Chain A
């Protein structure tokens, strides 16, 4: 079996053109992850620039309203740039700099990863080009302009379904064309090895902090940690340091779109099958001939037909559980959290909130649940208004 395997999943299914670069990236990463100077620089950036550690907020009103477990929100939405994406991007951008690269490219769905990458590129004086599905550039027009303000060039991707999947393909193609001065800053725990490992390591700061914070607050581990899953970066970050704590349930919320019994869904674990795509073996939404299926979710960030290989393995082993959450449930939860706690979260994160709304009552008040609030929802306000039939004049 080749490198970077999680059970049967993972691997490096890429054109030969990229193999040497992936091996080089892995070697550099292995070197710098153990380099005290690199770690010191990264910790400083995370603390002074990104604003870590992020808060673990006790959602008292939500807890009272739902009448079960004590609910905590891990506030990744309060990070600089407004989501968990910055954790990984600062790590990879710093790594790219050390490797002598001068240019960053990245895919983006909702725009959060693109904004984070453009931000890091501005800070570290690097060129930046972002690939974004044309449909997403419309859904998330504000984020496109944010990236441009930060000095990045945004390429609308017009191939295929014009969403996240096609943005990833465009990035891989671009990286294949120009590897010597460029690092592909992959935004999720997916793609060929070593990306699932690198992104997981940089995102694991979420659970490293959350585990310490909940022990300080509650004196015990949570009954469950819950996070939304597209490719799976915030959820892997949220799960990682709890994997060894067998009593902690790990729950990933997939985007069911209009429902898992319809074609308009992006719930990979619920509706997908084993396959090989975007450099990895994992589960994918696909047809009987292995053609990747068009997927749908109101959330551009979860609108992806696959899931990271380590999640696929956590599913196989039964260590984590993946549940579908529909557009309707997520939009309701988006409004619910705004009214109840005064927090406008990303529609991606609202999938996790929705699941906890349904299930918190099954737990006792001496138990706790942590929801990873992966991002803030400013970017989604216009889309949510449209979804609810409100006409906004800007």
Chain B
């Protein structure tokens, strides 16, 4: 439960999470378009291997293979009736790997977005979203997850629905959003906006932060923005291993283990205490990150220039934390 997370934070000061799930599974032969969650049933050995890779590289925690394991996503594979079961198996395999690790390793039950846009703009109702998340959360906890891990969310409404669903079953949780649009989420949430959102929630996560998004530099800028808003709980930084590049017909993330090792140290300096990777982050990256985190002490907060110098430039000039740019259009009138 979240005591385990707190204990690790107290003794170590930071927690190294895992890296990529998709990138690793594709390397094991997952076909594009196939639901990775089906492998929990078909190839449990490969899923155990995926988890083991993170454990062996020194991760304190890994996410279960259940990112798309909610009924809304599984529906695209005609497996909507298996959301609870596939999530449960994902956690069961994880539990087994973690219990054999010989040290404290936390199993975090991954819960990705529904992929639907919520009312009033889209079609998904709050009640339906809560039901979808609750079903998956129940399966993950049944399978032995220590904590639930909501990730890659872009809409505040969806984050709230997940929080409510998890609250309904009384499980501990963490939750990150993906800031991929000029420093905001696709739905326009800024880093400091997320802190404000968390402050106003009933069922607050144990920790929150950012995952995926653009590159390592953007993600660190997001963490800086969150830290500057004085959050009252730990921050999570799970960034991609650089940016995908197209080389000879294949996609490579340009982030080297060395870059990710430096990213990990910077993430801690920025104020994150859960540090890990996302897309493109392989065991060799994680091992390098662990090594650099252990070899150094937390330093001063870097400024944006330092981040740009060490991680590369940002995808956009500003990230909206200074407030929305002044509206230059003259409105004819205001409406409610």
Query: Do A and B bind?
Result: no
Interface residues of B, Cβ cutoff 8 Å to A: none
